[in-house]
Amino acid sequence: MKVTKAEWVISAVKPAQYPADALPEIALAGRSNVGKSSLINRLINRKNLARTSSKPGKTQTINFYRINDILYFADMPGYGFAKVPKSVKAAWGRMIEGYLLHRRELCGVIQVIDLRHPPTRDDQNMYAWLKHYGIPAIVAATKADKISKGQWPKHLKRIREGIGLVPEDPLILFSAQTGQGKEELWKGIRRLTGN
Ligand code: GTP
Ligand code: MG
């Protein structure tokens, strides 16, 4: 996919602020600091349009990026970040859940999981929740650059089995650092958005 235009549109905390132009949307879900924002930047070839940080908890709102005027990426706060106060975590949870359940424009979710580690309980719950509500997912196993190639199949298998991946959902090896998996991920996104 050739990205010629990518723009931040809004950082939303409530539905009234979500974009109103009814373009298809793909949301990013995943553990805090796993690399959701970096994955967006790599997909659109922009260094830091989606703000990233080495410290978890960077993304605290639902950030909408309009791509080529044909679709949105919705970058969401990460889950499983212990340092956020319980009340804030609950508010994020309600915001994300409300968005995923009620957003008409949502075509699917890219769930980002760290290739290096077994999926966490939160990863398992998130994926099971998406499947329960019939939301299509693409699982991006990211930070592939941190693992030697020979280990990839073993780690992919651990993720596939750990979350109980359904056959309809692709599992894509990805690295924001090297760009690995980028075209395959775009293919999956186009399939979900109909572009
Ligand atoms: P929150 O917004 O806090 O939930 O984090 P996030 O999931 O958006 O993660 P972010 O993209 O900010 O990246 C977190 C850290 O991981 C940064 O230091 C990135 O440089 C690093 N990172 C992300 N993706 C990759 C990758 O594919 N390879 C490597 N080596 N580092 C990565
Ligand atoms: Mg982020």
On whether residue 21 sits in a domain, the answer given is yes
> Using one digit for the tens of pLDDT, what is the confidence trace for 68-97?
999 999 999 888 776 777 777 787 788 899
Is 137 within the bounds of a domain? yes
171 in any annotated domain: yes
Asked if residue 114 is part of any domain, the answer here is yes
Residue 1 belongs to a domain: no
The response to whether residue 143 sits with its C-beta less than 6 Å from ligand 1 reads yes
Element (H, E) at 140: strand 137-142
Structural domain harbouring 146: 6-193
In ligand 1, the atom with minimum distance to the C-alpha of 59 is: 2
- Helix/strand/coil percent split, the chain, to 5: 35, 25, 40
Return the CATH number at 157: 3.40.50.300
167 and 139 Cβ atoms separated by less than 8 Å: no
pTM: 0.95
Q: What is residue 189's predicted lDDT score, i.e. its pLDDT?
A: 98
- The per-residue pLDDT for 63 is 94
Give the chain's residues under pLDDT 50: none
Closest ligand by atom to 53 CA: 1
Give domain status of residue 162, yes or no: yes
- Identify whether the C-beta of residue 35 lies closer than 8 Å to the C-beta of residue 53: no
177 within a domain of the structure (yes/no):
yes
Which residues, at least 6 apart from 3, have a Cβ–Cβ distance to it below 8 Å? 43, 44, 45, 67, 68
In a domain, 52, yes or no: yes
Provide the pLDDT for residue 66: 97
What's the pLDDT at 65? Answer: 97
Mutational pocket test of ligand 1: of 44, 52, 65, 116, the residue with most ligand atoms within 8 Å of the beta carbon: 52
ipTM greater than 0.90, yes or no?
A: yes
Number of domains in the chain: 1
Distance, CA 134 to ligand 1 centroid (Å)? 28
> Residue 82's pLDDT is what?
63
